[in-house]
Amino acid sequence: MCGIAGYIGEKQALPFLISGLKKLEYRGYDSAGIAIYNEGRIEVRRQVGKIAELERSIRGQVIEGTQGIAHTRWATHGMPSNRNSHPHRDSDGHIAVVHNGIIENYLELRNELEDKGYTFTSETDTEVVPNLIAEYFEGNLLEAVEKAKARLRGSYAAVCMSQQDPDYLVGIRQDSPLIVGYGKDGNYFASDIPALIGHVDRYTVLKNGETAVIDRDGVTIYVDGKAVEPEVMELTMDIDAAEKGGYDHFMLKEIIEQPRALKECLSGRIAYGKRVIDLGELKLDAAKAEKINKIVMVACGTAYHACYVGRYVYEKLLRIPVEVEIASEFRYRDPILDEHTLTIVVSQSGETADTLAALAEAKRKGSHILAITNVWESSIAREAHDVIYTRAGIEIAVASTKAYTTQILAIYLFGLYMAELKGKMIRREIQTIINELYRLPEKVQQIIDDNLDIIKEMADEIAEFEDAFFIGRDLDYVVAREGALKLKEISYIHAEAYAAGELKHGTLALIVDRVPVICLCTQRNLEEKMVSNIKEAQTRNGQIFSICFEGDTLVPAVSEHVCYLPKTLDLLAPILTVIPLQLIAYYASVKRGADVDKPRNLAKSVTVE
């Protein structure tokens, strides 16, 4: 999400800033801007839309200067507009900042700064940063940035410049990537490697909590105010490899990005005032929520599977009926909806034609519409009454991964929001779930760090077969459906998912000749029944691949291959369980020589019926 470029050196800054932003376009954005220092003044130009629109807006203007910062924005706080675009300046225009991430305590800081006379011109969380730096500025930019950084809560990568202390740029990083590039004609900042290719041959990736100062002569990295020796690496990637983050495929990169995407989805959405969950300005208030007596969830493909997780979760938390509908079928059966029905439409792109048509039908019948989507101001976002953005960042591979897990996380957050609004759960119960939600990103990272070898082994075995079966119970069955879809769409292995209790009603006839059976076992109240189902498949010569929690002893006893997950609440298991399934599909596809990122006959966004 978003892109940062910064430069100070001997050359004119503008050409690099524009080219750097263009090399970061793959990350997704809705507006762009630059700030360049020249002869005692910071010149800022911002434009909603593509970088080409920014270029057109400055064509013919003389914007000279050998230091500057630039940004492409993916909107989170405030709609895409010129005034919400970065860079942002303080009230007096002396300090300019570009920022990726979310400042969770921005409202608290904004109120404090407004009381001190600072004015704000945007709806963004970012604008508090230059004003906070200005509040602490006493002639030294680095000192002011360090004091401001100590007040910030949330995720950020930010680069700052000052027209009163103009001889360097300052970068800070917490949970959002920021890279320093070492060049022969100056030094650079960027949020990702592609912006630096062709300009530097060495780079440093900032660590959480570090501050970097770059000037025309060099780079200094600070931790807690003390200079430290950074790890400097050679830049040898070409542009294609760099856009993939050094991974062989976008799909693998996007799987690996999930801990960060989940953090972005969570960021700023947990409150500690009158309410526990803060989802912005939703129109669905307590009065409307009280009248909701049914929820209908509508989507296609992977998003449809996310909705099925929602069905199980909402019925458990809210105790009201939930229907899950395939968008392409929804409007043709004259669905029963009214003003007491909440319709939730889920789409990564926000442009899925069938989901848009379903939205229009539900709206026509008086239902309140909540959209869960990844793309700001997409068609579905514009047409819905309320929107929750997943903040997954751009997803390039056709097979959805981080979009799916952030959709599920958004579904959980809304479920807790509704439970609190309708008085279905007490604050302590909600807080217990939230505490575990906060741990999910690190647990996803643990799965990736600890299990790749066993997952590759499992994938290599499965890749040798033309059929595979996925089984599970309760929420595990829902995730099994997504696992089967992932495997079939990118490896072309015929894969089916079944509720484990249904094996004896026909499916057992297909369990022969060591056929892979992938068994999901995270719903602890159903574990003994699940073990009996696994034995049924094992007795018929199925090859058993199981996924269960650490410390489980029953499931491994009846399995040939086991992938262990860090423990969490059974309710939240789907976000963890799907990670090995995504990786199994990926490595099986690689093993079979398929085109991982662009599987045959499929498109990323289906915009026709």
Could you report the per-residue pLDDT of 15-45, keeping only the tens digit for each? 999 999 998 887 778 899 999 999 899 999 9
> What is the 8-class DSSP label of residue 177?
-
Statement to judge: residues 226 and 277 lie in one domain: no
Residues 465 and 553 in one domain: yes
Residues 230 and 268 grouped into a single domain: no
In a domain, 597, yes or no: no
Query: How much is the pLDDT for 57?
Result: 93
**Span 574-607, pLDDT tens digits:** 999 999 999 999 999 999 999 998 888 776 655 4
Number of domains in the chain: 3
Query: Containing domain of residue 506, as a range?
Result: 443-591
Please provide the average confidence, as pLDDT, over all residues in the chain.
92
Helix axes 402-421, 573-591, angle to 10 degrees: 170
Q: State both tokens at 91.
A: 């009230």
114 pLDDT exceeds 60? yes
Instruction: Mark whether 108 and 225 lie in a shared domain.
Output: yes
Domain boundary (184, 219, 241) is at 241
CA gap 222, 210 in Å, rounded: 6
Tens digit of each residue's pLDDT (9 = 90 or more) over 425-473: 888 899 999 999 999 999 999 999 999 999 999 999 999 999 999 999 9
pLDDT band at 297 (very low <50, low <70, confident <90, very high): very high
Edge to edge, what strands does the sheet with 494-499 contain?
A: 494-499, 467-472, 516-521, 543-549, 561-565
Predicted pLDDT of residue 1: 55
By percentage, how much of the chain surpasses pLDDT 70? Answer: 97
Greatest CA separation for the chain: 80
312 located within any domain: yes
Domain CATH code at residue 223 = 3.60.20.10
Asked, for residue 430, whether it belongs to a domain, the answer is no
Question: CA 65, CA 102: separation in Å to the nearest integer?
Answer: 30
User: Residues 6 or more apart from 562 whose CB is under 8 A from it?
Assistant: 454, 545, 546, 547, 548, 555, 556
- pLDDT, residue 267, reads 86
User: What's the pLDDT at 511?
Assistant: 77
Indicate if 222 and 335 belong to the same structural domain: no
pLDDT at 607 (0 to 100): 42
- Residues 80 and 37 grouped into a single domain: yes
From the candidates 2, 265, 548, 563, which is the catalytic residue?
2
Digit-coded pLDDT (tens) for 469-492: 999 999 999 999 999 999 999 999
- Do 271 and 189 share a structural domain? no
* Annotated catalytic residue, options 50, 422, 424, 604: 604
Does some domain include residue 601?
A: no
Q: Do 289 and 180 share a structural domain?
A: no
How does pLDDT run across 250-281, given as a tens digit for each residue? 999 999 999 999 998 998 888 766 668 888 77
Structure tokens, 156: 């950020």
Is 253 annotated in the active site? no
Q: In what order do the strands lie in the sheet with 322-326?
A: 322-326, 294-299, 341-347, 368-373, 386-389
In this structure, what token pair is assigned to residue 355?
């989901």
Is there a domain that residue 607 lies in? no
Say if 435 falls within a structural domain: no
d(CA 460, CA 587): 7
Cα-to-chain-centroid distance, residue 83: 25
Query: 144 with 284, same domain?
Result: no
Query: Which pLDDT tens digit goes with each residue over 215-250?
Result: 999 999 999 999 999 999 998 877 777 778 788 999
pLDDT for the residue 261: 93
Joined tokens for residue 63: 């914007």
Query: Which pLDDT band holds residue 394 (cuts at 50, 70, 90)?
Result: confident
Q: Among the residues of 463-552, which ranges form H helices? A: 475-491, 527-539
The predicted structure's pLDDT at residue 23: 87
Same domain, 91 and 229: yes
Q: Answer for the pair 196, 179: CB distance below 8 angstroms, yes or no.
A: yes
pLDDT at 608: 41
2 labelled catalytic? yes
For residue 33, give Cα distances in angstroms to 56, 69, 125, 187, 243: 12, 9, 17, 20, 21
Q: Are residues 111 and 44 in the same domain?
A: yes
pLDDT over 80 at 377, yes or no = no
Q: What is the DSSP letter of 309?
A: H
Structure tokens at 47: 């434009």
CATH number of the domain to which 459 belongs:
3.40.50.10490
Whether residue 609 has pLDDT greater than 60 = no
Residue at a domain's end among 364, 391, 425: 425
Average pLDDT of the residues in 39-64: 93
Same domain, 267 and 355: yes
pLDDT score at 525: 94
